[in-house]
Amino acid sequence: MTTQNTISLNFQEAYSRLKPIVRNTPLQFNNNLSKLFDATIYLKREDLQLVRSYKLRGAYNKISTLDKSIASKGVVCASAGNHAQGFAYSCANLNLKGFVFMPITTPPQKISQTQMWGGGNIEIILTGDTFDDTAASAIEFCNNNQMTFIHPFDDEKIIEGQATVGVEIFEQLQNIDYLFIPIGGGGLSAGVSAYFKAVSPQTKIIGVEPAGAPSMQAAFDNNAPIALKEIDRFVDGAAVKKVGEKTFAICKENLQQICLVPEGKLCTTILELYNKEAIVVEPAGALAIAALEQFKEEIKGKTCVCIIGGGNNDIDRMQEIKERSLQYEGLKHYFLIRFAQRPGALKEFVNDVLGPTDDIVRFEYFKKNNKEAGPALVGIECKQKKDYDLLIEKLNVFSINYTNLRDDEKAFGFLV
């Protein structure tokens, strides 16, 4: 297959090359989601892949096709974790020396998993706060040491390898109405969308990005990749400031729409999948499923496939995931409250302002000086979303001097 931008992709060669290496992951009908959306929903379980993400496909497809004389000098990658694990597995399998550059912010679980898959064939170097910073260091290292950089997404062989997810889906199920694909740098969305456009042109292909890192949407709006000034790094597997030139060109041709999902919604989806399905997904892995709600009217009665991109979620992040979910669902709120400096003020607040099911989950005084107390940071968790309106009403009725931190992003980030 050749795109209008002369990018050549051979899906079947990649599929044959990877067949002995990767797992043909299941395409599972999901009863709960199907009932919820009155549709037929299938999940492509790339979280069950060997390295718990689809990234193995692209990494192995690229590295295994390098000229042996070039590969023997060493290969290098930059990754927040999943590409690193696929890269590490490939280095071990092909007995090559690899260097893995990872952001300092990478979850410990992904670092240890990468080391496990690569064994003695890889060396991990932690540098930079974002993927883009890390990638710059990795490329400089490559140039200084005459090694080959294995790009996580903007490479034809990488795109080709990720496309094999689509080849498997089409083998497992035809007549798909909607296909939801997560987007980070665009390798998976480019490869799968290009393949599906060729074999199933009637399928509506939706790319899904985190709202805090909408790099493909920005590229679509700009008609070319553009670097975002700031991104929310929470969805570490998809938090990329700038998508690839090649991936953009292919996605522009083949994606019908891009959907942006708030990070809080992703957190709710992660918790629901764990509690209802016993499926462990990372934030980037939840993107496609989290997008369904925005299409609930459109997909009624339709057959939909959501690609779960990965399941490398660090258990240490679960408290943050729960926190973000509660805030997104309108169940947890933070206030700065300046209590009257008299006995009984706090007791009156608890008795008169809080509802019967409201719960104080955080309380912290800030001192103005040694004698006088300053405002208190108060976290309140509600049982139902509607309880928030009653809480605000009572705060005003009883003339409580408060600041809602939801309205002050800087103060929220500093205090909470």
What pLDDT shows up at residue 107? Answer: 74
Residues 150, 63: contact at Cβ < 8 Å?
A: yes
Average pLDDT, the chain: 93
What pLDDT shows up at residue 108? Answer: 81
Domain boundary pick from 304, 329, 354 = 329
In this predicted model, what pLDDT tens digit does every residue of 262-309 receive, in sequence order? 999 999 999 999 999 999 999 999 999 999 999 999 999 999 999 999
- Count CA within 13 A, CB hemisphere, residue 211: 11
In this predicted model, what pLDDT tens digit does every residue of 68-103 receive, in sequence order? 999 999 999 998 789 999 999 999 999 999 999 998
- What's the CATH code of the domain at 367? 3.30.70.260
Q: Same domain, yes or no, for 104 and 252?
A: yes
Q: Same domain, yes or no, for 154 and 23?
A: yes
Between residues 51 and 342, the one the model is more confident about: 51
* Spatial separation of the C-alpha atoms in residues 66 and 302, rounded to whole Å: 42
What pLDDT shows up at residue 109? Answer: 77
> What is the residue range of 196's domain?
1-329
In this predicted model, what pLDDT tens digit does every residue of 353-408 receive, in sequence order? 999 999 999 999 887 665 556 789 999 999 999 999 999 999 999 999 999 998 87
Residues 42, 28: contact at Cβ < 8 Å?
A: yes
Domain boundary pick from 288, 311, 329 = 329
- What's the CATH code of the domain at 322? 3.40.50.1100
Q: Same domain, yes or no, for 39 and 162?
A: yes
pLDDT at 4 over 50: no
* Spatial separation of the C-alpha atoms in residues 243 and 132, rounded to whole Å: 10
Q: Same domain, yes or no, for 165 and 34?
A: yes
Run of H or E residues at 86: helix 82-94
Alpha carbon of residue 343 to chain centroid: 49
Rounded mean pLDDT of 45-51?
Answer: 96
In this predicted model, what pLDDT tens digit does every residue of 158-216 receive, in sequence order? 999 999 999 999 999 999 999 999 999 999 999 999 999 999 999 999 999 999 999 99
